[in-house]
Amino acid sequence: MSKVRIIIGSKSDLEICQPIRKVLDDFGVMYDFQISSAHRSPEKTVKLAQDAEAEGYAVIIACAGMAAHLPGVIASHTSLPVIGVPIQSGALGGKDALYSIVQMPPGVPVATVAINGVKNAALLAIQILATADETLRDKFKEYKQSLKG
């Protein structure tokens, strides 16, 4: 089974990003969790992006607040799907992060979820993995059925 790499831009985002781990754990999806800032540790960030595919990762979730360059920087250094999560912070309440992530130039796509939309980021990663994993696809179908109440 392919894995998900989760990269957050700051330790201050740990609490808001915890639901990603829970969702992936609930579905039995393997992942790693890294803290790496596009601004404070750019070399580490680039290496995490460039090495992900060779290390068995199939999707990257990148969470960042404020200027939120992390998802775009990662997307520029990998051909893997990148899901960006804008984190609510700063004077603009996450809108700056949302705009930074969603407004990527042609050729550098980043799938973007809502501000603090960490659960949907994990579910989207699962859906991407499920295109090549029938067992995971069945689990996701069961999950969707459970939403009907």
Report the alpha-carbon distance of residue 145 to residue 87 in Å, rounded.
29
Residue 122 near residue 20 (C-beta atoms within 8 A): yes
Instruction: Enter the pTM of the model.
Output: 0.96
Domains of the chain by start residue, with CATH: 3-146 (3.40.50.1970)
55 dihedral zone (left: phi>0; alpha: psi -120 to 50; beta): alpha
Q: What angle do CA 57, 62, 66 make, to 5 degrees?
A: 170
64-84 pLDDT, tens digit each:
998 789 999 999 999 999 999
Report the alpha-carbon distance of residue 87 to residue 35 in Å, rounded.
14
2-29 pLDDT, tens digit each:
899 999 999 999 999 999 999 999 999 9
Residue 81 near residue 132 (C-beta atoms within 8 A): no
Report the alpha-carbon distance of residue 105 to residue 73 in Å, rounded.
12
Report the alpha-carbon distance of residue 17 to residue 107 in Å, rounded.
27
Nearby residues of 121 by Cβ (< 8 Å), 6 or more positions away: 20, 61, 63, 83, 85, 113
**Percentage, residues of the chain above pLDDT 90:** 93
